[in-house]
Amino acid sequence: MAQKLSKRGKVRKAARDKKYAMTPNRRKKKAENQRKRRAAKKKGKNLKGKDYDHKTKTFTSVKKNRGNRGKGTKNENTR
Looking at this protein, which amino acid is placed at residue 64? K
pLDDT tens column, 45-71? 999 999 888 888 889 888 887 777 777
Q: Element (H or E) spanning 25, and its range?
A: helix 24-42
Tens digit of each residue's pLDDT (9 = 90 or more) over 7-33: 999 999 999 999 999 999 999 989 998
pTM: 0.65
Q: Give the SS3 label for residue 78.
A: coil
